[in-house]
Amino acid sequence: MPKLRNIVKALLPHGYMLARKKNTFVREYLHWKESGDVVTFDKECRFKTFVSVDGFGCSGSSAVMDLLREYDNCTVWASKPIFTSTKENFRSLGEMDLVRHPGGLLYLEHFIKHDYCYYHDTWGDAALKAFASMVFYSDIYRHFPETHRLFFHFFDNLIYQRLPSKVDLVNWYLNPFGNITDMFSMKMMTLSEYHNLCRGLLYSLFNLIFDDYKGDILIIDHIFGDCGYDMKHFNCILPGTKKIVVARDIRAVYVHANQKKLAWIAHDSVEEFLKWEKRMYLGHDFNDTSYLSLYFEDLVKDYDKQVERIEKYLGLSPKQHVRSKEIFNPRISKKNISQWCSYSEHQEDCKRIRELAPILCFKPT
C-alpha cells in the first residue's frame, strides 16, 4: 500500500507544494544590502588542485571518490555511496551544482560572453533570477548559512540596476520564480573580470566550508561534469582544475536503468538507450591527455595499474595512500561488474548493444 503522505502529495496542487518553501533569496539579499555588511572575496585558496570526478550516469565515478578518500592529502566533497562500509564522517553535499547547473557560473558566463543580457533586460533579469533560484535550493546555501553573504556579494556584483516593484512582474523569458517581483538588469563586464569574480566566490566558499581539511587537493563530485572537456576554459574559472572521467560498460548501465526504473536514463528500447548514451559521450576522447579517462571495470579488475595512473595524474605519492582498500575495496566491488550478466531477460538487448555500439562496451586493457 502506498503511504498516505505520498498519496496526499500527489493530489495536492503543485503550486501549493512549491509555496511551502518559497525562494526568498532576493529578499534576504536586500536585507543584507541594507545592513551595510562589507564582503571581500579571498584571493588565495587553501587548495591548489581541484579535481572534478565525472561520469556518464551510473558509470562508477563514486568509486573513484571513495578511493581518493583513502589519501591523507585529499579532501573529498561528495555523498557517501551506499555500498561503502566506512564510518568516516564527512560533509555529505553530493554533486556540486554551483558551476554546471542552469543558473550556475557557466550559465551566467554564456550570457556575458554573448552580450544577451546587455541588449535585452529581460534576459539579464532571467539569468540573475535563475542564479538566485539555483543558489537558494542548493545544499551549500541550505546547510551553510555562513556562506549566504558570499552569494549576496557575488549577486550584488552582477547587478547594474534594480527596479523595485510591489506587484508581480511576469518575465516570460526563463523566469518561473513568481515570488520575485523586482526586475534586475545585468552589469557589463569582460570575461576576464567575470572569471576573477567566480574565482573569488569559489575560493572564499572552499576556505570557509573546509575549515577542517586534508592536504591541498580538493576532490569534487561533478564540479564540471556534463560541461564538456575544455580544460583550458575550466582553468580560467578555477585554476588548478583537473578532471577524471569514469566510464562503464553501457550494458551494465542499461540493465541497471531497467531494474531500477530510472526515469532520467532512456531505457524503453535499445535504440533510445543508445541515443541517450551517444549524447552523454559526445566530445569525450579516451586518448585526450588533458584529462584522465578510466573504466570502472578496469579499476576493479586491474586495481594497481589504475591506482598508479590516478596517482601519476594527480601527483599523489603511494605513501599518501594511508587507508588503502579501507573505503574502496575492489574485492567487494567485483559484484558490481558482473551483476548485469545474470539478468536473463536483458541478454538479447545486451547482445544488440554490443553489436551496435562496441566502442562503449568494456574491453579489458
Query: What DSSP designation does 344 have?
Result: G
Contact present, 158 and 186 (Cβ < 8 Å): yes
Maximal C-alpha separation, the chain = 66
Give the chain's end-to-end CA distance (angstroms, integer): 48
In the block, residue with C-alpha cell 496542487: 13
Q: Which amino acid is at 238?
A: L
> Alpha carbon of 281 to those of 38, 197, 221, 247, 286: distances in Å?
44, 31, 18, 9, 10
- Residues facing residue 16 across a β-bridge: none
CA distance 346 to 257: 11
Q: 3-class SS at 169?
A: coil
Pick the CATH number of 49-96+217-360 from 3.40.30, 3.40.50, 2.160.20, 1.10.10: 3.40.50
Domain ranges in the chain are 26-43+99-202, 49-96+217-360
- Which residues of the chain, if any, have pLDDT below 70? 1-21, 78-94, 119, 166-180, 364-365
Q: What is the pLDDT of residue 19?
A: 44
Q: 3-class SS at 54?
A: strand
CA distance 105 to 111: 10
What is the pTM assigned to this prediction? 0.87
Q: What is the pLDDT of residue 283?
A: 94
Nearest to 312 by CA among 339, 334, 289, 337: 289
Q: What is the pLDDT of residue 142?
A: 87
Nearest to 19 by CA among 178, 228, 211, 210: 178
Q: What is the pLDDT of residue 121?
A: 78
